[in-house]
């Protein structure tokens, strides 16, 4: 279990910049709103797939999707920081100028505050889902919400803590790539499976590419902290090659889904083109994103995220436009 280390004394790496932060600044930093697109984009895609499946829009389902996604995001980032506090501390010690301040090691919030707030966000998400399940007549909504939360618990918390045992990237791909879009599609349509849901297969691969790339900047500190990831097992170059293979395969799956008749071809074509152009930038930035080249890795991940997010949003827009045209 991750250590409950006080942020006073030798185990603290308090950055002077953070000492004068207001409580609002501390909380905004801790919940990482800049990272929310990683969840909001799959939410938008899932909502659009649900609208496509039932040929109507439910404002209540949309409200549920936004509330659940934000609460789920807060649950994930806070408990991930609590779980990773030891390896985060190692990274700050190894690269004091190479990474941003960390919520617990840099004394932005205490470990207990992070843990309690994260658990409250998860509990609120589950209870809110049960309420919306009744309001929207979606009997599986609460169960699905607990399933989404459980995927992260298995990812980062004891006893499984698979993010430390080599299974983190796969769990992230399933959670972000399938579970989150699916629960949004179900909230909209009320259908467990319907035409258009096949698009989630490609999005799972895109989410796996994102999860693999996320481990690049932590390769050395994770290895020192005893954390097993694809980057620590197979290295930087293997991860980049895998990322650059997964994206075109995912786009190919989207195109095959349209050829199979699940969605109109024109809906998918725009998304494939946008994401494909983004992939060109990913490959172009790859050569510089070597181990510990943090700025180059940041640019590499930025291009990757833009390819995934912009392509997925174009796909969502196409699904909605299809409703308007029919």
Please tell me the distance from the alpha carbon of residue 78 to that of residue 157, in angstroms, as a whole number: 12
The pLDDT of residue 5 is above 90: no
Give domain status of residue 29, yes or no: no
The pLDDT of residue 4 is above 50: no
The pLDDT of residue 3 is above 60: no
Give domain status of residue 6, yes or no: no
Give domain status of residue 77, yes or no: yes
271 close to 311: Cβ distance less than 8 angstroms: yes
- In this prediction, residue 20 carries a pLDDT of 86
| Confidence band, pLDDT 50/70/90 cuts, at residue 282 | very high
- In this prediction, residue 11 carries a pLDDT of 35
Give domain status of residue 197, yes or no: yes
- Could you tell me the CATH number of the domain that includes residue 239? 1.10.600
Q: What is the mean pLDDT of residues 234-245?
A: 98
Please tell me the distance from the alpha carbon of residue 275 to that of residue 248, in angstroms, as a whole number: 9
- In this prediction, residue 154 carries a pLDDT of 93
Give domain status of residue 20, yes or no: no
Nearest Cα neighbor of 218 from 308, 64, 98, 135 is 98
The pLDDT of residue 17 is above 70: no
Nearest Cα neighbor of 146 from 227, 71, 234 is 71
Give domain status of residue 164, yes or no: yes
- In this prediction, residue 170 carries a pLDDT of 96
- In this prediction, residue 306 carries a pLDDT of 98
| Tens-digit pLDDT profile for residues 110-149 | 999 999 999 999 999 999 999 999 999 999 999 999 999 9
What tokens appear for 248 in the block? 């075109």
| Tens-digit pLDDT profile for residues 201-232 | 999 999 999 999 999 999 999 999 999 999 99
Give domain status of residue 214, yes or no: yes
The pLDDT of residue 166 is above 70: yes
| Tens-digit pLDDT profile for residues 55-105 | 999 999 999 999 999 999 999 999 999 999 999 999 989 988 777 889 999
The pLDDT of residue 304 is above 80: yes
| Tens-digit pLDDT profile for residues 66-78 | 999 999 999 999 9
- In this prediction, residue 105 carries a pLDDT of 94
Structural domain count, the chain: 1
- In this prediction, residue 157 carries a pLDDT of 87
Give domain status of residue 149, yes or no: yes
258 close to 268: Cβ distance less than 8 angstroms: yes
The pLDDT of residue 12 is above 50: no
| Confidence band, pLDDT 50/70/90 cuts, at residue 18 | low
Domain that residue 239 falls in: 34-325
Q: Over the Cα atoms of the chain, what is R_g?
A: 20
Secondary structure in 3-state letters for the chain: CCCCCCCCHHHCCCCHHHCCCCHHHHHHHHHCHHHCHHHHHHHHHHHHHHHHHHCCCCHHHHHHHHHHHHHHHHHHHHHHHHHCHHHHHHHHHHCCCCCCCCCCCCCCCCHHHHHHHHHHHHHHHHHHHHHHHHHCCCCCHHHHHHHHHHHHHHHHCCCCCHHHECCHHHHHHHHHHHHHHHHHHHHHHCCCCCCCCCHHHHHHHHHHHHHHHHCHHHHHHHHHCCCECHHHHHHHHHHHHHHHHHHHHHHHHHHHHHHCCCCCHHHHHHHHHHHHHHHHHHHHHHCCCCCCCHHHHHHHHHHHHHHHHHHHHHHHHHHHHHHHHC
Please tell me the distance from the alpha carbon of residue 178 to that of residue 86, in angstroms, as a whole number: 30
When the pLDDT of each residue in the chain is averaged and rounded to a whole number, the result is: 92
């Amino acid at each position: 279990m991750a250590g409950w280390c006080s942020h006073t004394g030798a185990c603290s790496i308090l950055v002077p910049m953070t000492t004068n932060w207001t409580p609002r600044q501390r909380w905004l930093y801790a919940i990482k709103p800049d990272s929310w697109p990683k969840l909001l984009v799959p939410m938008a895609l899932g909502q659009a797939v649900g609208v496509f499946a039932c040929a109507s829009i439910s404002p209540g389902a949309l409200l549920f999707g936004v509330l659940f996604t934000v609460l789920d995001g807060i649950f994930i980032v806070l408990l991930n920081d609590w779980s990773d506090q030891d390896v985060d501390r190692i990274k700050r010690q190894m690269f004091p100028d190479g990474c941003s301040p960390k919520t617990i090691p840099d004394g932005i919030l205490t470990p207990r505050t992070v843990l309690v707030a994260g658990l409250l966000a998860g509990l609120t998400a589950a209870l809110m889902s049960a309420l919306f399940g009744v309001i929207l007549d979606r009997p599986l909504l609460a169960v699905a919400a607990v399933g989404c939360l459980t995927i992260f618990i298995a990812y980062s918390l004891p006893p499984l803590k698979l993010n430390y045992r080599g299974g983190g990237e796969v769990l992230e791909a399933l959670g972000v790539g399938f579970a989150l879009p699916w629960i949004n599609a179900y909230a909209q349509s009320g259908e467990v499976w319907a035409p258009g849901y096949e698009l989630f297969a490609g999005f799972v691969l895109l989410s796996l590419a994102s999860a693999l790339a996320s481990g690049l900047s932590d390769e050395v500190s994770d290895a020192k902290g005893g954390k097993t990831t694809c980057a620590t097992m197979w290295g930087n170059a293997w991860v980049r090659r895998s990322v650059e293979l997964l994206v075109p395969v995912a786009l190919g799956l989207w195109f095959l889904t349209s050829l199979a008749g699940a969605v109109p071809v024109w809906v998918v074509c725009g998304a494939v083109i946008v994401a494909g152009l983004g992939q060109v930038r990913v490959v172009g930035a790859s050569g510089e994103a070597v181990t510990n080249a943090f700025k180059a890795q940041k640019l590499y991940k930025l291009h990757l995220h833009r390819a995934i997010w912009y392509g997925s949003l174009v796909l969502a827009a196409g699904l909605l436009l299809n409703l308007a045209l029919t």
